[in-house]
A and B are shown apart, each in its own frame.
Chain A
Amino acid sequence: MSLAEQPLVACHDCDLLQREPLLPQGGVVRCRRCGATLLRSHPRSSERALAFTLGALFLFILANVFPIVGLKLSGDYIQTNLLGAAQAMYDNDMRLVAGLVLITTFAAPLAQMLAMTYLLLPACLGRRPPQARRVFRGMTLVQPWGMLEVFVLGILVSLVKLAHLAAVVPGVALWSFGGVMLLMAAATASFDARDLWARLEAAR
C-alpha cells in the first residue's frame, strides 16, 4: 500500500510517522516507538465534552458566588470566596501572587470552559462559529494554566490548618469546586480535537 492511500499520523512526542490504523469505537492508538497516546476515539466525543463543560460552567458560577470556607470565632463569622481571597493577597502588596492565583484558578479555567462551549455547541449543531481558529488556539495556550485540582487540594490543606484556630465551616463553593474539577477532567478526557475539526470543516 502506498503512503498516499492510507492516512498518516505523526507522534507529537517522538515525531515518528506511522500509518493510521482503523480505530474501533472507544479505542486508543499508542505510538509504536515511544508509547504516547496518538488517537483516542470516544463515541460522540463532542457531545459528551459539551455536556460536561456546560455542567462545569454552571458549578463554576456557584463556586464563585458562594463562600469557600467560613470561620466561626467567638461570635464573629468570617468567610471568603475565591475572588475575596485574591483581593486579600492584592491588599497585602502581593499583586503578582494575586494575579497568579486569579489566572490559575479563575481566568484560565473560565476561558477554557467558554472556549469549549463556543466551539462545541455550534459544532454539535452542524455550524461553524466565526473566529473558530483563534478561539481554538487561545484555548490550547490557556489550558496548561488552569489548576483547579491543585486549588481544591489547597482548600483542604487550609481547612486542616485552620481547624485549631476556630470552628471551620466548609462552604457551598468547596463542593462546587470539587464538582468543577471532576467535570472538567471528564470534558478534557472526552474532547477530541480531530472530531471537532472534522465537524467544523464539514459545516463550512
Chain B
Amino acid sequence: MKDPASTARWHLATCHGCGLLSRAGTGHAARCPRCGTPLHARKPESIARTWALIVAAAILYVPANLLPIMETSSLFGAQNDTIMSGVVYLWVSGSWHLALVVFIASIVVPMAKLIALVILVLSVQLRARWQPVQRTRLYRLVELVGRWSMLDVYVVTLLVALVQLEALATIRPGPGALAFGAVVVLTMFAAMSFDPRLIWDSMEKNDA
C-alpha cells in the first residue's frame, strides 16, 4: 500500500449517521453539519470500554447458563429448565431442527461472539497486522448475529403468558432469563463500542 489515505490523516471525519465527509472539528463538541450526529475520528475509549463490557458479559454468561430460565409446575411435578435442558427437551421430543436453532442462537452465538470480540480487541491492542480484511469481516459478522441470542427470552415470555392454567400447569420465568437478557444487551454494547477502523490504524502506523 503506497498511500493508505485514511480520513484521520487528512483531518476529515465521516458521519456515522448520514455518511457525510466533513472537516474534523476541534474539541469534543464537533457535530456533523448536515444531520447533527457527534463526530469522532475514532470512537472514544473504544478498547477500554469494549474490554469492560466483554468482562461483564463473560461473568454473567455463567449464571445465564446455569440458572433456570423457566420453572414449570404441573400435575406431574415441578421442573426447572435451563437453556441447555430446553434444547435437550426439543431434541428428545423430535424437533431436532428447532433444537439446533435454539442451541446455535442461545449457546453458540453468545460464546462465539465473546471469543470473536476478545480476538478483535487483543489484535488491535497488540497492533497485529495479520488478515485485516478477515478481521473486519469478523466484526461485521459479530454485529449481525448478536441479536439472535434474544430468541430464548422471547420464548420464555410467550410461554409464561400463555400457560397460566392453574389446574394443569404454571410456567414462571427463572432468574436465568434476567442474566441471559443482560448478556445479550452487554455483548451488543460491546460490539457497538468497538471501532473496526482501529484494525486498519495499526496497519498504517507500521507502514510509516
Contacts and interface: CB of A to CB of B under 8 A. Distances in A.
Contacts of A84: 161
Contact of A13 (B9, B140, B182): B140
A97 B181 contact: yes
A201 B168 CA distance: 62
A165 to B, nearest CB: 7
B177 A97 contact: yes
By DSSP majority rule, is chain A's interface helix, strand, loop, or mixed? Answer: helix
Interface stretch (B53-61, B95-103, B113-121): B95-103
Contacts of B126: none
Given A15-B197, A97-B178, A137-B37, 15 more contacts: A8-B12, A10-B21, A17-B10, A36-B136, A36-B140, A69-B158, A76-B165, A97-B157, A133-B36, A137-B36, A140-B37, A154-B157, A157-B151, A193-B17, A193-B18
Given A197-B18, A197-B20, A13 B139 contact: yes
Interface string B164-177: 11001100110001
A8 B41 CA distance: 16
Instruction: In the A-B complex, list the 7 residue pairs whose CB atoms are closest, starting with the nearest.
Output: A154-B154, A88-B161, A133-B36, A85-B161, A10-B14, A158-B158, A80-B161
Contact of A69 (B6, B139, B162): B162
Given A71-B162, A133-B35, A17 B151 contact: no
27 contacts: A9-B21, A10-B6, A10-B12, A12-B16, A15-B14, A15-B201, A16-B5, A17-B6, A68-B158, A69-B158, A78-B165, A84-B161, A88-B164, A94-B177, A94-B178, A134-B36, A137-B17, A137-B35, A144-B147, A144-B188, A144-B192, A153-B101, A155-B158, A157-B101, A157-B151, A161-B90, A201-B34
Contacts of A14: 6, 132, 136, 196-197, 199-200
Interface of A: 8-10, 12-18, 33-36, 68-69, 71, 73, 76, 78-80, 84-89, 92, 94, 96-98, 100-101, 104-105, 133-134, 136-137, 140, 144-145, 147, 149-151, 153-158, 160-162, 164-165, 193-194, 196-197, 201
B158 A80 contact: yes
Contacts of B172: 92
| Chain B interface extent, by class | 35 or more
B160 interface: yes
Interface of B: 4-10, 12, 14, 16-21, 34-37, 89-90, 93, 95, 98, 101-102, 105, 132-133, 136-137, 139-140, 147-148, 150-155, 157-165, 168-169, 172-173, 177-178, 181-182, 185, 188, 192, 196-197, 199-201
